[in-house]
Amino acid sequence: MDRLKGKRALITGGTSGIGLETARQFIAEGARVAVTGTNPETIEQAKKILGDQALVLRVDAGDSAGQAALAKTLADSFGQLDAVFLNAGVAQLAPIEQWDEAAWDRTFSINLKGPFFLVQALLPILANPASIVLNTSINARIGMPNSSVYAASKAGLISMARTLSGELIGRGIRVNAVSPGPVSTPLYGKLGFEQAELEKVASSIRAQVPAGRFGEPSEIAKAVVFLASDEASFTVGSELVIDGGMSNL
């Protein structure tokens, strides 16, 4: 239980779902952790769950101009970072006719633009060696109806994992990605469906998963722990698909 002993880590979107569970596992493995979020309620819940083991910050992942301020806060608190899990994201599903420019910009700002400029802002405080893990999605690999904008933003993250891995490995920074399939998190409750419709959508998605179920946040978190640890020191520019076989159909 000490695979991350002595490491200093940042987890964006770390106040609920996959991010919060990853923060719990990072702390259990010996890391000092900072997590970010925007919802005041989940921020307070995260403070109670993680206790004094974590620095919980209110930060908008889509505010590219605010990433430098976050980097400064982390430099003042931790000095350097050994691991970064860029997990914050939004999933808005809609047919192409219903998209407008503002909704497109919001998705790409949070899912792709913000993470890119956060990596840029963190470069001066990333240790050598260090690990960056991007949370992408199998939606970038499958042609799921109504996911065009979301999938495109996540495909950009997968590309970023590959290109930045080549660009940053000379500095001792490994960049990799996890691509989860459907996972039981509050994210699905934010899609704007009524409860009955949400259950219908969930049932339809579950039927497409060979494993016959949604994944659990802990299953994604364990993969992130591995990629952040020294056990993955030769893993560079990789995408770890964790989807119960959904993308193999």
Q: Say what the pLDDT of residue 199 is.
A: 76
Annotate the chain with DSSP letters as a single string: --TTTT-EEEETTTTSHHHHHHHHHHHHTT-EEEEEES-HHHHHHHHHHHGGGEEEEE--TT-GGGHHHHHHHHHHHHSSEEEEEE---------GGG--HHHHHHHHIIIIIHHHHHHHHHGGGEEEEEEEEEE--GGGTS--TT-HHHHHHHHHHHHHHHHHHHHHGGGTEEEEEEEE-SB-SGGGGGS---HHHHHHHHHHHHTT-TTSS-B-HHHHHHHHHHHHSGGGTT--S-EEEESTTGGG-
> In CATH, what is the architecture of 8-242?
3-Layer(aba) Sandwich (3.40)
Give the pLDDT means over successive 10-residue stretches in the chain (249 positions): 95 97 98 98 97 95 95 98 97 95 98 98 98 97 93 98 98 98 71 65 86 95 98 98 91
Which among 150, 164, 209, 227 is annotated as catalytic?
150
Let me know if 188 is a catalytic residue.
Answer: no
Q: Say what the pLDDT of residue 188 is.
A: 52
Q: Say what the pLDDT of residue 116 is.
A: 98
Q: Say what the pLDDT of residue 192 is.
A: 54
Q: Say what the pLDDT of residue 233 is.
A: 98
pTM here is: 0.94
Where are the chain's structural domains?
A: 8-242
- Return phi, psi of residue 178, to 5°: -110, 140
Q: Are 181 and 209 in contact (CB under 8 A)?
A: yes
Q: Say what the pLDDT of residue 139 is.
A: 95
